[in-house]
Structure 1
């Protein structure tokens, strides 16, 4: 699924560090997002109620509400790189974090994105803050995609990936299951059953989820009215959009927008 961008304008950093004789980082309190890649050695992460033991080659995504702490064993050379931030509009991701594998083997793509962020350095000169945030969101998308594949432990057929990509790119249009099936050259019956088997939901539900997620993003990051947003992301009825926002975020569109403004 194409994820709506997360606002990480506060304290979004990349970096790398070597520990020669152990150490700790944290505890960090409150909403916190952290990626860690372990290049050498071992590392323990305590993220809310989850405890992870990572080894060289592992990458972890932690999304915490209460407490985050990393511990490096003494007398062990450990080298890591990280990306972290304070997410402002990620209620949907907190709600679904249990669906993703807490750590994976760091792919070439994930390592490359992390290194690009590290190479940016710190500070916001030359617009680097915005680029850093964009890299973090790209890294989040890459990690979640790969973690979903790991969690399912089965390859997704190319036709289903193509159908998902088509929905990602055309969610605001008047899209039917028949049209998607025709696009990827399978029957509507096969598309529905295979999509649900491999992605955990029907194409129709995925389509509405894309619309809802991007609508929530526009509520928090644009000045468009609720009706304008509803029509722009594919809803024919603003009331339907408002009701879905309420069900997903436990607040009205106006309240969701105010939460963002009040930070």
Structure 2
């Protein structure tokens, strides 16, 4: 069944925002009254979100859909930092016109590679681009379309293999540790060769490449959102040394740690 989200034209969306943030251990946010259709992508840590007195627990590697007209309160992990990214689209009058038609969409889904890429692109675009611009509104709606599509795909198309989901969740929670392919495969009870085949089929990459990509993503976020020394970020994200850290960032982003941090500060 198609969701009403898939039929929202761009002129129904008045603006779209995106962001990324790292909360310190024990962080809290709210309460607030939700005014947007918002996707929250949880990458590390833990999240408990209370919506109209009902508490939902969210683990890393999942995206949740928040709907307008509800009261929300967020509580983050007590023992570690929590990193999440978000996309929010304002649709005036949404709760009156559309909310009853959104019941077919789930609250939570695994974060797909496609949804991650859309979030990356929207974050890259937002500097110097108005939240009311056609570009930002289109990207915000595209993320909502993708979430809706992935829900419909679960019913009739190939679902992500449980071993891939287990491995990704494990990586998200313990990416700083020194994992080998054999250890990851043993953790999810498959052979290393089979885990490689599964990741190639579902993620278009290998488990170890996924791990390094995730480490780089987390490191870029820490450089952008915190004042932690580069050496500390390197260690916390699982790199072998600051030299190795700088080389990996340069290969994958084209920028050094100092360039990433300087650009992030210039944008604030």
Please, what TM-score do these two structures have when normalized by structure 2? Answer: 0.50
SS in 1 for 2:11: strand
Residues 1-263 of structure 1 mapped to structure 2, 5 A cutoff: 57-59=4-6, 70-71=10-11, 84-87=16-19, 113-115=65-67, 118-120=69-71, 136=86, 144=115, 146=147, 150=153, 153-263=157-267
- Rate the CA distance shift 1:210–1:140 in 2: closer, same or farther, 3 A: same
CA distance in 2: counterparts of 1:225 and 1:112, whole angstroms: 32
SS in 2 for 1:181: helix
- Rate the CA distance shift 1:148–1:196 in 2: closer, same or farther, 3 A: farther
Aligned CA RMSD, in angstroms, stands at 4.2
Structure 1, residues 108-158: CA drift from partner, whole Å, max 9, x if none? x9998332x54359xxxx99xxxxx96836989758285568499421111
CA distance in 2: counterparts of 1:178 and 1:111, whole angstroms: 28
What residue ranges of structure 2 are gaps of 5+ in the alignment?
Answer: 22-57, 75-82, 88-106, 117-146
* Contact 2:176/2:238, CA 8 A, preserved across alignment: yes
- Rate the CA distance shift 1:254–1:60 in 2: closer, same or farther, 3 A: farther
* Contact 2:63/2:109, CA 8 A, preserved across alignment: no
* Contact 2:18/2:85, CA 8 A, preserved across alignment: no
SS in 1 for 2:185: helix
Structure 1, residues 145-179: CA drift from partner, whole Å, max 9, x if none? 85568499421111221111111111110111111
CA distance in 1: counterparts of 2:259 and 2:85, whole angstroms: 29
Radius of gyration: which is bigger? Answer: 1
- Rate the CA distance shift 1:163–1:86 in 2: closer, same or farther, 3 A: closer
SS in 1 for 2:66: helix
CA distance in 2: counterparts of 1:238 and 1:112, whole angstroms: 35
* Contact 1:88/1:260, CA 8 A, preserved across alignment: no
* Contact 2:20/2:86, CA 8 A, preserved across alignment: no
- Rate the CA distance shift 1:87–1:178 in 2: closer, same or farther, 3 A: same
- Rate the CA distance shift 1:186–1:257 in 2: closer, same or farther, 3 A: same
* Contact 2:231/2:242, CA 8 A, preserved across alignment: yes
Please, what TM-score do these two structures have when normalized by structure 1? Answer: 0.51
Superposition deviation, residue 193 in structure 1 = 1.4
CA distance in 1: counterparts of 2:218 and 2:16, whole angstroms: 23
SS in 2 for 1:235: coil
Superposition deviation, residue 247 in structure 1 = 2.6
